[in-house]
Amino acid sequence: MIGLMPIRYIPFINGHFYHIYNRGVEKRRIFLDKREHRRFIDTLTYYRYQRPQFKYSRFLKLSVKEREMYLTNLAKTSSPLVTFVSYVLMPNHFHLLVQQLTDDGISRLMKLLLDSYTRYFNTKNERVGPLLQGQFKAVRVESDEQLLHLSRYIHLNPYTSYLVKTIDNLHLYPWSSLQQYFGGQGICDTSYITGVFSTKKSLKSFIVNNADYQRKLEEIKHLMFD
């Protein structure tokens, strides 16, 4: 069954930040086209609240007006499970940086998200079986400095993996929260990161500073893939 997962031993504590990540089984691609990227982000957005009345697949069957009314009411009546700080979707893996707000918030969000997306992907691509490498990985962020550098690491993924050819075009990568940090719309609370910088120019300099990034990489290597 899709929903069966190994027991997790890391505790999720309300108010703390966590790096959540996973990749495709056998390192296979888990995002094949724009529709799949969009579906993952939309599902992530939908399940961030505590008590959704419908599964996301059923929600999509509602009319546009019914969906708008439902989401407005959900936002007013249900507390969020987590706060999103940053994210990136790569061809065969994803990274999320989140803060847990309610008990079991991260576990509940990820189960609903990954079960829903796996069913969607398998149906769309006529396949069966697990899509991801077992249980999602989670590491607690231990300091404000780690939070800052980890967010940069997440946003730099498309560049370091050569999906974006030049650093100047990094903000154009569509499946990352970086666009929101420079004026775009999105699901993240950017204040945890932007509050450290006096201007957007200084934030941009921090992100694209490769030398500094490489120096700090050692400090957060245990928060990344093995």
Rounded distance, CA 186 to CA 189, Å? 9
Comparing C-alpha atoms, which of 107, 98, 111 is closest to residue 10?
107
Residue ranges for the chain with pLDDT beneath 70: 1-9, 210-226
Tell me 4's DSSP state: -
Q: Give Cβ neighbours of residue 168 (< 8 Å, ≥ 6 apart).
A: none
Residue type for 140, please?
Answer: R
Backbone dihedral region for residue 86 (phi beyond 0: left; psi -120 to 50: alpha; all else: beta): beta
Comparing C-alpha atoms, which of 170, 4, 141, 153 is closest to residue 87?
153
Rounded distance, CA 3 to CA 116, Å? 10
User: Which pLDDT score, from 0 to 100, does residue 148 have?
Assistant: 93
| Structure token digits, residue 119 | 């069913």
> Hey, which residues does 19 pair with through a beta bridge?
97, 139
User: Which pLDDT score, from 0 to 100, does residue 108 have?
Assistant: 95
Tell me 25's DSSP state: G
Which tens digits make up the pLDDT trace of 129-164?
999 998 999 999 999 999 998 999 899 989 888 898
Rounded distance, CA 147 to CA 122, Å? 34
| Structure token digits, residue 203 | 């934030």
**Are the C-beta atoms of 57 and 67 separated by less than 8 Å?**
no
User: Which pLDDT score, from 0 to 100, does residue 52 have?
Assistant: 85
User: Which pLDDT score, from 0 to 100, does residue 4 have?
Assistant: 42
User: Domain 17-220 falls in which CATH fold?
Assistant: Alpha-Beta Plaits (3.30.70)
**Are the C-beta atoms of 147 and 85 separated by less than 8 Å?**
yes
The angle that helices 200-208 and 144-160 make with each other, rounded to 10 degrees, is: 70
Domain borders along the chain are 17-220
Angle at 157 between CA 152 and CA 160, to 5 degrees: 110
